[in-house]
Structure 1
Amino acid sequence: MSFKGEQHPGVKAPTAESQGFRLNHTMLRVKDPEKALAFYTRVFGMQVLRRLDFEELGFSLYFLAKLGASEQAPEDEGERTVWTFRQKGLLELTHNWGTESQDDFAYHDGNAEPQGFGHICFSVPDLEAAEAWFDANDVTFVKRSDQGKMKNVVFVKDVDGYWIEVVQADRLAQLGD
């Protein structure tokens, strides 16, 4: 018998109508795309798959991913757009034009009151090496792996103050009850 998902109150069986649905991306609004792109491409090794500009609405979308060695995005922009929207686990950075020049402008990070959105998460092969890399790149820590009640879990902030959880998957087998 194959695993069909944990069962909890409220869980319903998938229907035929939802076959083929997949989570494509999570969106974060960013004040300055140059700073945000530098952070996610340098610190987390992501690459921009596609940028879409909406001139009449005054914003741009940047779709980022961490592709595997064997994964290849199409060169043609139209084909790459379609391919991008078929992927799993992308990060979309949305830039509303002009925010980068507003000194007092900031987005709510979701962790200040009132709380809402919490964080995104990256899995890394070596948590200590990741922490050293973050230190070498002046990344702001919320929590290091040896702090707090949840050991082996790191939280850092991106340039807009959004929290990023960083885990090493093989250390989490005993997590929770």
Structure 2
Amino acid sequence: MRILHTMLRVGDLDRSIAFYTEILGMQLLRRNDYPEGRFTLAFVGYGSEDSEAVLELTHNWDTASYELGNAYGHIALAVPDAAAACAAIKARSGKVVREAGPMKHGSTIIAFVEDPDGYKVELIQRQ
């Protein structure tokens, strides 16, 4: 068994696809409209769905925004240099909400960015 994807509901699909592809460097793997259900699914990730876990971005055509809730945490991405990743994200107009530095009760270097819908993405420095 393996994790296939994590689904996020997004208010503006094109804006979200731009964030995950242009700011975080993922690829748009596939996008399908479901007119009878009035929704679109877009899958983004760093590799093929055959071997990598990906994100499913779900856009319900009649919903402009969502409440994030208090149970959801974040998506985590491994990066070789968290400070450099933050600088690159800011250069692409991404929002860094916690600069790179050691985690509160440890030594792992982390940072956090926020997508257009307010979802947090943690950057974990791994060499």
Report TM bin, short chain: 0.7 to 0.9
Percent identity, aligned pairs only, is 42
Aligned length: 125
SS at match of 1:145: strand
SS at match of 2:33: strand
Equivalent residues of 1:153, 1:167 under 8 A apart: yes
**How many angstroms does 1:146 deviate by?**
3.0
RMSD in angstroms over aligned alpha carbons?
A: 1.9
- List structure 1 segments (4+ residues) > 6 angstroms apart after TM superposition: none
Equivalent residues of 2:24, 2:89 under 8 A apart: no
Unaligned runs of 5+ in 2: none
Equivalent residues of 2:32, 2:40 under 8 A apart: yes
- Decide which structure has the larger Cα Rg and report it: 1
CA distance, structure 2, for counterparts of residue 24 and residue 106 of structure 1: 25
Unaligned runs of 5+ in 1: 1-20, 68-72, 74-83, 100-104, 171-177
Among 62, 80, 86, the residue aligned to 1:98 = 62
More helix per residue: 1
Q: CA offsets, 1:17-41, max 9 Å, x none?
A: xxxx211000101100110011100
Q: CA offsets, 1:80-127, max 9 Å, x none?
A: xxxx4x44311110010133xxxxx422234xxxx1010001111221
Task: Name the structure 2 match of 1:88.
Answer: 52
Distance 1:169 1:148, change over 3 A: closer
CA distance, structure 1, for counterparts of residue 20 and residue 94 of structure 2: 11
CA distance, structure 1, for counterparts of residue 43 and residue 67 of structure 2: 21
Task: Name the structure 2 match of 1:158.
Answer: 115
CA distance, structure 2, for counterparts of residue 148 and residue 25 of structure 1: 26
More strand per residue: 2
CA distance, structure 1, for counterparts of residue 8 and residue 16 of structure 2: 10
Equivalent residues of 1:48, 1:62 under 8 A apart: yes
